[in-house]
Amino acid sequence: MSYAGPNRPVAPIDNPYQMFQKLYGQVKDREHLSSVLDDVQEDLQRLSKIIGQDDRHLLEEHTEFVRSMEKQLQQDGASGLNHVVPELEPGIKEENDNIPQITKMQTDLLVNSFVNDFARVATFQITNSVGQPKMSWLGIDESHHTLSHEPDSNKEAHDQLTKINTWYCEQLAYLTKRLAETPEPGGDGSMLDNTLILWGNELGQGNSHTLDNIPFVMVGNGLDFDMGRSIKFDKVAHNRMLMSIAHGFGHHVETFGKHEFCEGGALSLS
């Protein structure tokens, strides 16, 4: 879902424990390094009393280097973490039935990464496109992908898909709630007031793989778009919507993706 360039997809981090290490590993390393530097300072002071003049000059250079590292650590620590480092529930395996727990863990880490300015943009895809997840926690034994290919006349499949999509919507609601109850660090309002969430789908209709009438939901007020409304665009490529988002971030691109889908320019969403 995220690309570094044409045909260069960015591999997602599926494991929340791996994501935790990526986000907070540097903090732990900094704490460990600070402890090591304390010991080094004591050793340098002890050595300075027993070595000659020439060696003492070299030792002073090492001491200055250690002091500069300590100063850098103090500067990094001054900004500090804006919240307690989260504790993840241990032993959650990457298995189908654990998708709800993993989703919540990843959502919490996403919000925490924003709070501490570890990241300012994030992409979150709960399952693979054709990963065949079975929403057993909803009492559904058939895979989501298989159900999505059932004809519109299959009422049972339709009801199950409604259940599944409702669950996905609840995950969006949880992310929204977390952002809404979190104050914007160093700013006004909540993080939701300063964030734009774009919830999308890759198809308009799953059983026919249509690429028109694809639904998108925007939540938040990060780009000062005119929110709280439903808009239907007739025969408009979503490339133009993505251009609008880029413009909202200050990147006034003239195309996004294939240029023939960008005719008419960015959509007016403000």
- pTM score of the predicted model: 0.79
Domains of the chain, by residue range, sit at 1-80, 96-222
Segments of the chain with pLDDT less than 70:
26-38, 66, 69-83
Mean confidence (pLDDT) of the chain: 87
Cβ atoms of residues 252 and 243 within 8 Å: no
Q: What is the pLDDT of residues 190-200, one digit of tens each?
A: 999 999 999 99
**pLDDT value for 148:** 92
**pLDDT value for 10:** 85
**pLDDT value for 79:** 52
